[in-house]
Structure 1
Amino acid sequence: MQTPSVREQNTTNPFSTLIQFWDDVKVVAGPYWYPTKAEGRAFVDVIRSWGMLILLLLLIFGIVGGNAANSYWNRYVVDLVIEERNIEKYESTLWLSSLIVVGMVLLVTSLRYIRKKIILDWYKWLNNYILDKYLSNQAYYKINFKSDVDNPDQRLAQEIEPITSNAVRFSTTFLEKVLEIGSALLIVWTVYPEIAFYLIIYTIIGNLIAISLNQVISKVNQEELAFKADFAYCLTHVRNHAESIAFFHGEKEELNIIQRRFNNVIETAERRLSLERGQDAFGRAYQSAIGVFSMFILTPLFLQDKIDYGEINQISFACFMFSNALGELIGEFGVSGRFSSYVKRFAQFSDTLEAVSQEPEKVNTIKVVEENRLAFEDVTLKTPNYEQVIVENLTLTVQPGAGLLIVGPSGRGKSSLLRAIAGLWNAGTGRLVRPPLKDVLFLPQRPYIILGTLREQLLYPHTDRKMSDKELEQILQQVNLQHLLTRVNGFDTEVPWENILSLGEQQRLAFARLLITHPSFTILDEATSALDLNNEGNLYQQLQENKTTFISVGHRESLFNYHQWVLELSQTSSWQLVSIEDYQLQKGLAIKSVKKEQITIDIAPRKECKIEPISSVVITEIVGLSHQEIKNLTDYSLATIRTKASQGKPITTNNNVTYRYNKDPKVLKWIID
């Protein structure tokens, strides 16, 4: 079921945009400034944050009040110079004027430091807060198929810091400039009330126009943020798939794709620049007109001796303070547009993380029971959106030490069963019995390679485990990776492993983790698809020697040698569980007899029947390889392999083994030449 990423808005309510913006702000600011949950911030941290905020507000009041008081002091000094022409009194004012300057410098410096400190602390906490939500309850995984939120990495890396910096800067600047406007109006009112009245009307009209312009720019800002995120993701996609692009020589097509997304960024940026040009022109004209207006009124009054020069100087200073504050306030409306865009995307992201982390109501889910065994009890598994049934009424028990191979057509849910075991997918009904996940190791087809040293690669996910270099060297030898130490300087050198290791080496590295962890249960999703038969056999034999219970997903017929049972999923949601021998007889596969110990898997379908243990059974050994298996061992395409098979030409694999295709209708396999 899709989780909406955009909140519903009431378009019939004229104040819906403002209401929605306030709701989004509460999502961003609430957990930090006013936590209401017990697991929120510590009380002492909240008090510290509020203390810094109160100090910031006091500094703002101090600066604005100091500027207002300074206007009266300057008026007094000007009157001494112009009216009284008293040099002694003027010299006596210099020390106080110097003290005022030093005091204002200290206040402004402290204000800027406290503001940056609040921004940094809030950003640090907010980043950790959203990362915790992102990595809790596997939200980072579920968000990819349960919502339409785009580019979560972009939102985490580039859109959190602007929220805190813009929020604090806009709030403090808004308060500071409103206070400056108010103090300027008060100063003007005490000298000449008529001018103050005109300034109030002028301010109201100008701000209404500024807000209207800002709403248009805000919409463009939101589009630009989305296009920038798409562009950044496109570049990351190229980096992650560089080898595949190089094989296809797809540079031209990739450039076209990148260029299209970059053009979207440029087009929205140009629209924003055009709108901001108009906003800047309005702000500059609006600000400049105040000075002209004030002088137009004050000059005749001075000539008529109705006010003195000191009052003109004070009113001029107040008008300058008023116009400067008004200009910065209008400029901040543009910042508020970008701020609202960031806040909206963050709120959507945060709400979606919470939604995907919660179990949906009034839907059926598979019940999970933790025991030291693995069993499906009448399990019907569905896709996370509940739209497709993957397997129906699956009932089987995997006994300790057994090996189960899951096969079936591509796209029929083999890997989905493994996701159900891991708890990633739980849509459906029935009961899943499995050991605690700490006792289970999952090996995917493309292993996860972390950003770290070789030691950390081997010990992952328990990188704090203590193992000597000698022990790690022995592990590398067991999986034929001892040559890795010749590529780097020891186990503690950090290199881009994903770029320097082949897929086969990555799969062997994953097996090395298995040998270090010694899990009771191992799940392998085509974990040997890139390995030659010798390395595959070596790794599976070590699994058997460690008495590990394992379930494999794979297409290679060589896997039959290491498992006792086959679970086959059909094109529909049906299934069958048979022994390796019976499955090969069903499929008419060429076999060679070898004796191997048999371990039982219990199956209890509708009539709760069980398969009894068998002491020994004839297990198959494949004497040839299919086209797909040859493809996995070479750099040839399937079309080339089929052509060589029809022409009777040999193929040499990457490990220098030569195969020739046997056209005997009873064989039809690639065999060693």
Structure 2
Amino acid sequence: MSGTSPEDQSVGAPAPPRRGFFAQFWRIIRIYYGRPGDRIRAWGYTLSVVGLTLLQILVELRFNTWNRDFFDALEARDRAAFYGQLWTLLLLLFAAMVSAVAQLWAKQMLSLDWRRSLVWDLQSRWLKAGTHYQLNFMPDAADNPDQRISENTRWATAMAVDLLVGLLGSILTLATFLGVLWTLSGPLHIALASSEFEVPGYMVWAALAYATMGSLLTFLLGGPMVSINMRRNQAEGDHRFALIRIRENSEGVALIRGEPDEDRGLRAAFGRVMAVMNELYGRERALMYLTSAYGMAAGVVPIIVASPRYFAGAITLGVLMQITQAFLQVTRSLNWFVDKYPLLADWRSHIERVAALEDSIEAAESLEADQTINLVVGPTEDGREVLAFKDLQVGHADGNVVIQDANAEIAAGEKVLLVGESGTGKSTLFRAIAGLWPWGSGEIRTPAPERMFFMPQRPYIPLGSLRAALAYPAAPRKFPDAAMRAALERCAIGEFGARLDEEERWDRVMSLGEQQRLAFARLLLHRPAWVFLDEATAALDEENQDSMMRLFREELADSALVSIGHRPGLDVYHDRTLTLMRAPDGARLEVRRKAQPAKRKVRAGPLVAAGQGALRRMMRRG
């Protein structure tokens, strides 16, 4: 892997072949029904749905014979039989109600549990090994993964259950009532010129012809709805993403008075939603012309077709009503496609969006497995724990080289400052060390991931309590309150010690400088063996920067430190400096100089000094 250059490599992972719709849907089914932890529940809910659907069809079959008996009693003016049929109707209504509610419960549980399984699978894979980060740099990666995981999975599973249960019910109903209709309709005698012939079960052929005509017209009118729904989902996702970006960057927008420009952008994004929705609504109106007339005629057509036998005295009024009801059941089953086409088009768009996200995650996973930078985790052959680069070349996903032929070694406990002009790849090198950036060649040897701690310029502050933010990524209760308060005090934000259990948007409550000091307090609690700072003191004044950097001489003296920084005075806290020098074919890593001992004494601030002793005592006891 280390012998090829980024220019010779394909960009990212090879794109997976585009799967057909049914192959995409089968993958989503397999996630739920094939996983050992979900399999028993999945089949339990599924069999419940199937059994209750069969029960509903049996109730409908009994209701069909009730129609015959009821109308025969009405035609015969048999009062006793008439009232007897009313009691039978009450029992049938009760059975229909109970079976329908039970089936609805089973369908709801199946769709919810299926969605849970799918969401958990996508979330865990999206978050694994920085895949969520790598997708931002991969060409043709699925957009708006948040919408695909939260919204598209909901509709993909809920609609699938509704549609598949409806299809199953239609097939079983068709099989049941075709026999009824064939038996009741009898032959139709047709005379053409001097020839006579009969059509057996003619009502069945009439139902098939009626349903076929409706299906063909529906397909012609509604065919474009699949692509329209795909574009609608994308437009909706883009508009929501624009809103989220403004919310997350509201301070920057407000300070620069960018609201008018943002409003124009949002109007344009929602304009695309409006355009595609108008196109979709137009298709729905075209279908409504068909379905409204088609559904109304369905109740009259069987009576008209069967009336010759009724007028001939071959069937009673009860049988005519039974034929009509059986015809409606058959055509309703055959018209499943007609009735559900708009829903099918929408459902397909959700399935394809979920499948596209899974394709992107698979591409990122294969990228991790086939990464061109050989990431070696563990000590050297002589047992030393080091961070080392050997013939390292780091590039972008498009093949452009950022860092060329880097060779260096950093020993455990060493303090190294990494400097260079903006754009020479310092932060990209950190991403490669963390295993998030596979594009390039050569070798990086790193300590075990659990021994490394990365601190970016803007710390990540999770939602929830301050305790959770301070302990992150560990469990909130891992560290005692006293140690947490001491760490906050040592980092000059001790006033937040009384608010550990308050839940706030701490990334908004705290200034960026306070957030950076919170990250250093987090560092004190975790005490990693290797620390990587990417301009983690950029928002601090000189006094607070000195206070934070002294942690690596005092409380964290045994930890190795690799830091990126441009601020003056940082070099005195490091043993040596590595410099990335810009060059036409990629920056070169050079050892520029040894850092000189500090020539000035930095005085701790009053809050800093107050917490140092308490924290050291607490850490020794821990």
The two structures have a TM-score, normalised by structure 1, of 0.79
Q: Does 1:555 pair with 2:555?
A: no
- How far apart are the structure 1 equivalents of 2:504 and 2:368? 42
1:172 is aligned to 165
Residues 303 and 451 of structure 1: is their aligned pair in 2 closer, same or farther, counting only changes over 3 Å? same
Q: Residue 386 of structure 2 contacts residue 411 of structure 2 at CA under 8 Å; is this kept in 1?
A: yes
Structure 1, residues 431-488: CA drift from partner, whole Å, max 9, x if none?
3232212111111111111112111121111124543333222211111101224xxx
One-letter amino acid of the counterpart of residue 162, structure 2: R
> Quick one: structure 1 residues 158 and 315, their matched pair in 2 at CA, closer, same or farther if it must change by over 3 Å?
same
Residues 198 and 374 from structure 1, CA distance in 2 versus in 1: closer, same or farther, beyond 3 angstroms?
A: same
Mapped partners of 2:370, 2:153: distance in 1: 35
Choose the corresponding residue for 1:354, options 351, 359, 362.
362
**What is the SS of the residue equivalent to 2:315?**
coil
1:315 alignment partner in structure 2: 323
Match of 1:60 among 53, 57, 75: 53
The residue type paired with residue 459 of structure 1 is A
Corresponding letter in the other structure for 1:209: L
CA distance change for structure 1 residues 345 and 462 in 2, over 3 Å: closer, same or farther?
same
1:324–1:361 CA distance, 2 compared to 1 (3 A): closer
Aligned to 1:22: 22
Question: In structure 1, what is the Cα distance between the partners aligned to 2:362 and 2:16?
Answer: 14
Q: Helix, strand or coil: the match of 1:557?
A: coil
Query: Which residue identity does 1:23 align to in structure 2?
Result: A
User: 1:120 is matched with which residue?
Assistant: 112
Select which of 504, 511, 520 maps to 1:502: 511
Q: 2:480 corresponds to which residue?
A: 468
The structure-2 alpha-carbon separation of the partners of 1:197 and 1:427, relative to structure 1 and needing over 3 Å to count, comes to: closer
| Alpha carbons of structure 1 residues 375 and 95: separation in structure 2 relative to 1, 3 Å | closer
Indicate the residue corresponding to 2:533 in structure 1.
Answer: 524
Q: Percent sequence identity over matched residues? A: 27
Q: Please tell me whether residue 146 in structure 1 is matched to residue 138 in structure 2.
A: yes
- Distance, in Å, in 1 between the alignment partners of 2:73 and 2:12 is 72
Residue 352 of structure 2 aligns to which amino acid in structure 1? K
Instruction: Work out which of the residue numbers 586, 593, 597 in structure 2 matches 1:579.
Output: 593
Paired residues for 1:601-620 under 5 Å: 617=596
Determine the C-alpha separation between the residues in 2 that align with 1:7 and 1:275: 33
Displaced runs of 4 or more, over 6 A: 4-7, 360-363, 620-623
SS in 1 for 2:20: helix
Structure 1 residue 483 corresponds to structure 2 residue 478: no
Say if 1:301 and 1:405 are closer, same or farther in 2 by CA, change over 3 A.
same
Counterparts of 1:59 and 1:30, CA distance in 2: 24
Q: Give the drift of 1:197.
A: 1.4
> Which residue among 22, 36, 41 is the counterpart of 1:41?
36
Aligned-partner Cα distance in 2 for 1:30–1:537? 56
Distance (whole Å) between structure 2 residues aligned to residue 61 and residue 498 of structure 1: 55
Which one-letter code corresponds to 1:571 in the other structure?
A: R
Given candidates 280, 298, 304, the residue that maps to 1:296 is 304
Q: Which moved more, 1:46-55 or 1:520-529?
A: 46-55
Q: CA deviation at 1:175?
A: 2.2
Contiguous gaps of at least 5 residues in structure 1: 10-18, 582-616, 624-673
Q: 2:5 maps to which residue?
A: none
Which amino acid in the other structure matches residue 240 of structure 1?
Answer: E
Q: Secondary structure at the match of 2:444?
A: strand
What residue in structure 1 maps to residue 418 of structure 2? 406
CA offset digits 1:636-671 (Å, max 9, x no partner): xxxxxxxxxxxxxxxxxxxxxxxxxxxxxxxxxxxx
Aligned-partner Cα distance in 1 for 2:461–2:476: 17
CA contact 1:220–1:268 (8 Å) conserved in 2 = yes
RMSD: 2.5
Provide closer, same or farther for how the CA distance between residues 242 and 91 of structure 1 changes in structure 2, counting only shifts above 3 A.
closer
Counterpart AA for 2:152 = E
Distance in 1 of aligned mates of 2:49 and 2:370: 49
Higher deviation after alignment, 453-462 or 467-476: 467-476
Decide whether aligned partners of structure 1 residues 102 and 556 sit closer, same or farther in structure 2, where only a CA change above 3 A counts: same
Q: Distance in 2 between matches of 1:418 and 1:362?
A: 20
Question: Any conservation in 2 of the 1:154–1:229 contact (CA below 8 Å)?
Answer: yes
**Amino acid corresponding to residue 431 of structure 2 in structure 1:** R
Q: 1:53, CA displacement in angstroms?
A: 1.4
| SS at structure 1 position matched to 2:445 | strand
Q: How far apart, CA to CA, are the structure 1 residues paired with 2:15 and 2:335?
A: 34
Task: Report the AA paired with residue 571 of structure 2.
Answer: F
Deviations 1:72-93, CA, capped at 9 Å, x for gaps: 232123223322x333344444
Does the 8 A contact of 1:287 with 1:324 survive in 2? Answer: no
Give 1:327 shift. 5.7
Structure-2 change in CA distance of 1:303 and 1:397 (3 Å): closer
Residue pair 1:173, 1:329 contacting (<8 A) in 2 also: no
Aligned residues: 568
Task: Give the letter aligned to residue 30 of structure 2.
Answer: G
Query: Secondary structure of the residue that 2:227 maps to in structure 1?
Result: helix
1:135 to 122, 127, 139: 127
Structure-1 residue corresponding to 2:283: 275
Aligned counterpart, 2:190: none
What is the rounded CA distance, in whole Å, between the counterparts of 1:6 and 1:340 in structure 2?
Answer: 22
- 2: CA distance between counterparts of 1:561 and 1:333? 70
Paired amino acid for 1:534 = E
Counterparts of 1:78-93 in structure 2 under 5 Å?
78-83=71-76, 85-93=77-85
Alignment match, 2:68 = 75
- Once the two structures are superposed, what CA deviation does each residue of 1:129-168 show, in whole Å capped at 9, x if it has no partner? 1111111232111111124211111111111111111001
Question: Which structure exhibits the higher relative contact order, with contacts defined as CA atoms closer than 8 Å and separated by 6 or more residues?
Answer: 2
After TM superposition, the score normalised by the length of structure 2 is: 0.86
Aligned partners of 1:4 and 1:147 also within 8 Å: no
The CA deviation at 1:618 is: 5.4
Q: Match of 1:602? A: none
Counterparts of 2:232 and 2:597 in 1: how far apart (Å)? 66
Q: Does the CA contact (< 8 Å) of 1:439 and 1:520 recur in 2?
A: yes
Tell me, yes or no, if structure 1 residue 570 matches structure 2 residue 548. Answer: no
* Residue in structure 1 matched with residue 232 of structure 2 by the alignment: 224
Structure 2 gaps, min length 5: 1-9, 186-200, 603-622
More divergent stretch after superposition (133-142 vs 398-407): 398-407
The alignment partner of 1:58 has SS state of: helix
Hey, what does 2:553 align to over in structure 1?
A: 544
1:22 partner amino acid: F
Conservation of the 8 A alpha-carbon contact between 1:386 and 1:427: no
Residue aligning to 1:195: 203
Amino acid at match of 1:381: Q
Deviates more, 1:431-440 or 1:459-468: 459-468
Residue 427 of structure 1 pairs with residue 439 of structure 2: yes
User: Which residue does 2:191 correspond to in 1?
Assistant: none
Q: What are the Cα deviations for residues 336-390 of structure 1, in whole angstroms up to 9, with x where unaligned?
A: 1111111111111112101201247877322413125333242323225261223
How far residue 235 of structure 1 moved from its aligned partner, in angstroms, is: 0.4
- 8 Å contact from structure 1 (residues 558, 621) kept in 2: no
The 3-state SS of whatever aligns with 2:504 is coil
2:429 counterpart of 1:417: yes
Find the counterpart in structure 2 of residue 655 from structure 1: none
| Structure 2 contact 144–238 (Cα < 8 Å) conserved | yes
Aligned partner letter, 1:286: Y
Q: Is the 8 A contact 1:557 1:622 kept in 2?
A: no
Q: Distance in 2 between matches of 1:7 and 1:402?
A: 44
620 and 108 in structure 1: CA distance in 2 versus 1, 3 angstrom threshold:
same
Residue 286 to residue 179, structure 1, CA distance change in 2 (3 Å): farther
The answer to whether the 8 Å contact 1:207/1:330 transfers is: yes
Q: 2:91 aligns with which of 99, 105, 108?
A: 99
1:521-541 per-position Cα deviation (integer Å, ceiling 9, x unaligned): 111100111101100111111
